[in-house]
Amino acid sequence: MIKTITLPRTMVNALLHQAQLAGKKTALGLITEKNNQVIGHYPFSESINSSDIKKTLAEIQNNNEQIFAVYRSGDNEQHKLLNKAVDNKNLLQMSISQDIKGVLQLTGEHEKTGANEIQLLIS
């Protein structure tokens, strides 16, 4: 079963731009959904801490959004800290590849759907 995820083009452009600006550092953040639609993203600086994450999680909750995915352009301690803070096995892990310009690569799956492949649509 292939699961299809639709991301707004403006969000994809912003994620790629964030990764490009990060260069060799890591771009990371959260993607949110509301009413089963991906609608927002919350970028973090590479120097995030638990306080930054708590503030962002409160903002997401105040906006009546749910966390849909964690994105990153590298794997570092901040990425591990973010994953630990959101501790949800049903989140997708979105990887932005910096090896190939302009490539957005999804890894992971939602456990409850059992999807083995994920197709990304940009609208």
Helix ranges (DSSP H) in 40-102: 50-62, 77-86
Q: How far apart are CA 100 and CA 69, in angstroms?
A: 22
In the chain, what are the domain boundaries?
2-122
Q: What is the pLDDT along the chain (123 residues), one digit of tens a residue?
A: 567 788 898 998 899 888 888 888 888 999 999 998 999 999 998 788 889 999 999 999 999 999 999 988 877 788 788 888 887 666 888 888 766 666 666 555 454 555 556 777 788
The residue with tokens 């930054």 is: 52
| pLDDT of 53 | 93
Which amino acid would we find at residue 82? L
Give the burial string for 36-68 (b: 16+ CB within 10 Å, else e).
eebebbbbbeeebeeebbeebeeebeeeebebb
Residue 49 token pair: 């801490």
CATH classification for the domain delimited by 2-122, as one of 3.40.140.10, 3.40.50.150, 3.40.1550.10, 3.30.870.10: 3.40.140.10
- Residue 101 burial (CB count, 10 A): 8
Q: How far apart are CA 110 and CA 95, in angstroms?
A: 15
pTM summary value: 0.84
